[in-house]
């Protein structure tokens, strides 16, 4: 390791101890829910609806992937893909209930309980959910051949690249309690490289893996389309207008009807008419968005 002056560290004089103190306060917007241990923190069963698939989620970029997949399946005519979507508010610690931990021991959204077979199957990690549903319904992923491999290439790329954008750049640029120039510059460099990569790939492709919309797009759009539009309020900082092909892609994918619906599911932020806290029926999008529920005093209409 190169020599350095501890006085230049942040905070000044800081040196990593031989053993990390588990009681250290991490600070930032998510400090209240972060702990160095896994497992349930309290007992509570998860709700279960009438449909074959039970989705437990929040409309973060990772959560949007699963809801978009379900809505795209239904849009494509797969009626057996009907699902219930239950809100998991991560700021309230819903992901640490015993019921949720049974479905996802990692306590991260989204989590899926597939009850379409003889025995319930838990599916966690957003990429795994996309792959599971694509293979179950034979949709949005070629069955074999080079195009299947190319689609999986980009799905796995997003799963590996996303943390640099979210937990790296997004955290230090938008959520950390202090602004650390080194950290912001380090992750901004990587995000710019990722944006340039996607922009170059999309120069001669309609979608990420080729000419057909796929689970690769469902994984990549919520993260990188979000950066194009509003995520972290960093559009000027990252100069996203430089990436014309990615801008075109984000607009096209964002205007797909199923994508627009998927972005609404378990959404608790932004315009009330774009929030559907729970989804149990396709008619919920017309009847039970948050603006309509607030006008009724919080009452949900059962379609």
9-18, 38-47, 241-250, range with the lowest pLDDT:
9-18
Tell me if 132 is assigned to some domain: yes
Alpha carbon distance 118, 152 (integer Å)? 28
Q: Which residue has the tokens 């080194």?
A: 182
Full residue range of the structural domain in which residue 83 is found: 53-137
pLDDT bucket at 98, cuts 50 / 70 / 90:
very high
Q: Which residues pair with 84 in a beta bridge?
A: 54
How many domains are there within the chain? 2
- pLDDT confidence of 186, banded at 50, 70, 90? very high
Q: Mean of the pLDDT values across residues 42-62?
A: 98
In a domain, 296, yes or no: no
**Residue 273: inside a domain, yes or no?**
no
Closest CA to 259 of 104, 204, 267: 267
Q: Provide the CATH number for the domain around residue 117.
A: 3.40.30.10
Residue 5 in domain = no
Torsion of CA 276, 278, 283, 285, to 10 degrees: 10
Average pLDDT over residues 38-42: 96
Indicate whether 185 and 256 sit together in one domain: yes
* H helix or E strand, kind and range, residue 218: helix 215-220
Note the pLDDT of residue 170.
97
Q: Identify the pLDDT of residue 50.
A: 97
Mean pLDDT of 84-104: 97
Same domain, 200 and 221: yes
pLDDT exceeds 80 at position 23: no
| Mean per-residue pLDDT, 187-192 | 98
Residue 26 pLDDT level (bands cut at 50, 70, 90):
low
Query: Edge-to-edge strands of the sheet including 83-87?
Result: 83-87, 53-57, 111-114, 121-124
Percentage, residues of the chain above pLDDT 90: 89
* Residue 303 domain-assigned (yes or no): no
Instruction: Answer yes or no: do 150 and 133 share one domain.
Output: no
The reply to whether 19 falls in a domain is no
Say yes or no: 150 and 98 in one domain: no
Mean local confidence (pLDDT), 211-224: 98
Residue that finishes a domain, picked among 137, 157, 190: 137
- The predicted model gives 135-150 an average pLDDT of 98
CATH number for position 233: 1.20.1050.10
Same domain for 238 and 188 = yes
pLDDT at 2 (0 to 100): 55
* Stretch 193-201: mean pLDDT: 98
Whole-model pTM: value is: 0.96
Report CA-CA distances (Å) from 126 to 20, 47, 91, 117.
Answer: 31, 20, 19, 20
* DSSP bridge pairs for 42: 97
On whether the CB atoms of residues 67 and 121 are closer than 8 A, the answer is no
- Say whether pLDDT at 1 is over 70: no
For residue 260, what are the CA distances in angstroms to 100, 155, 232? 27, 20, 20
């Amino acid at each position: 390791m190169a020599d350095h002056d501890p006085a230049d560290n942040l905070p000044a004089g800081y040196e990593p101890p031989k053993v990390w103190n588990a009681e250290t306060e991490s600070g930032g917007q998510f400090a209240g829910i972060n702990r160095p241990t896994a497992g349930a923190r309290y007992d509570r069963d998860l709700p279960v609806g009438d449909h074959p698939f039970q989705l437990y989620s929040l409309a973060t970029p990772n959560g949007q992937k699963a809801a978009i997949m379900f809505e795209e399946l239904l849009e494509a005519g797969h009626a057996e893909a009907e699902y219930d979507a239950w809100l998991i508010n991560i700021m309230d610690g819903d992901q640490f209930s015993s019921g949720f931990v049974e479905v996802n021991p990692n306590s991260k959204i989204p989590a899926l309980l597939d009850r379409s077979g003889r025995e319930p199957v838990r599916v966690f990690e957003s990429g795994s959910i996309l792959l599971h549903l694509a293979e179950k319904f034979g949709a949005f992923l070629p069955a074999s051949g080079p195009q299947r491999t190319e689609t999986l290439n980009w799905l796995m790329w997003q799963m590996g690249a996303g943390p640099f954008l979210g937990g790296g750049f997004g955290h230090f640029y938008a959520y950390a309690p202090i602004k650390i120039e080194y950290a912001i510059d380090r992750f901004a460099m990587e995000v710019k490289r990722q944006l340039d990569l996607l922009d170059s790939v999309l120069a001669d492709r309609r979608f990420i893996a080729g000419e057909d919309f796929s689970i690769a797009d469902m994984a990549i759009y919520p993260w990188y389309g979000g950066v194009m539009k509003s995520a972290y309020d960093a559009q000027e900082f990252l100069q996203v207008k430089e990436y014309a092909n990615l801008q075109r892609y984000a607009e096209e994918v964002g205007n797909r009807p199923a994508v627009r619906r998927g972005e609404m599911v378990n959404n608790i932020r932004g315009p009330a008419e774009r929030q559907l806290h729970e989804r149990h029926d396709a008619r919920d999008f017309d009847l039970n968005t948050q603006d309509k529920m607030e006008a009724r005093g919080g009452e949900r209409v059962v379609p």
